[in-house]
Amino acid sequence: MKLTDLFGKKNVAEEISKPSPYRILTEFVPYKLYSDRRSATTLSVKLKNLTTEPLMTSVVIKLPKQLAFDQMGLNHEKEVRFGDLATNDEKESRIEIYTGPGADKGEYTMNITAFAHYRDYAHVINSVSKRTTLQVV
């Protein structure tokens, strides 16, 4: 046991140089939204732990201003806490996405970031980002 382990500190330099800790898979059902009326889609985010240790995990999803997580069009960022994810374990979360009042036809890019934490959700070891697009017709 190291002295730094006693106080809850980790050598972050070792953690950053490691390969990607997660695999992120996304899917939309239905795969497109409509601009002429209120419509919704379900974003399915599957996250798999690729490391040899269990990780405390959370995912942050950021949407453009034309899309939202609520029907009023106010929430454009959402955090989903998965808790401890065991080695080679996979968890899934389903999130509703709605068109906002200013959604024109086109493709909208959203950013999905998975964070590996230690001790609590305020301390981040590593993160992986993925961009995905949603089509509005």
Strand 55-62 vs strand 32-33: parallel, antiparallel, or unpaired? Answer: unpaired
Q: Compute the distance between CA of residue 54 and CA of residue 129 in angstroms, rounded to an integer.
A: 19
Using 50, 70 and 90 to split pLDDT, how confident is the model at 9?
low
Q: How far is CA 10 from the centre of its chain?
A: 24
User: May I ask the CATH class of domain 11-136?
Assistant: mainly beta
Asked if residues 59 and 79 have their Cβ atoms less than 8 Å apart, the reply is yes
- Each domain of the chain, given as residue ranges in start order, spans 11-136
Candidates 59, 54, 78; CA nearest to 121 is: 59
Which range is least confidently modeled, 11-15, 20-24, 28-32, 33-37? 11-15
Q: What is the mean pLDDT of the chain?
A: 87
Residue 30: cis peptide before it, omega within 30 degrees of 0:
yes
Provide the 10 A C-beta neighbour count for residue 126: 20
pLDDT at 5: 56
Q: Which residue has the higher pLDDT, 102 or 128?
A: 128
Per residue in 82-97, pLDDT (tens digit) is 999 999 999 999 999 9
Q: What are the respective helix, strand and coil percentages of the chain, to the nearest 5?
A: 5, 60, 35
pLDDT at 14: 62
Provide the 10 A C-beta neighbour count for residue 21: 22
Per residue in 106-122, pLDDT (tens digit) is 999 999 999 999 889 99
Using 50, 70 and 90 to split pLDDT, how confident is the model at 36?
confident
Distances (CA, A) of 47 to 61, 93, 102: 13, 9, 31
Length, in residues, of the chain: 137
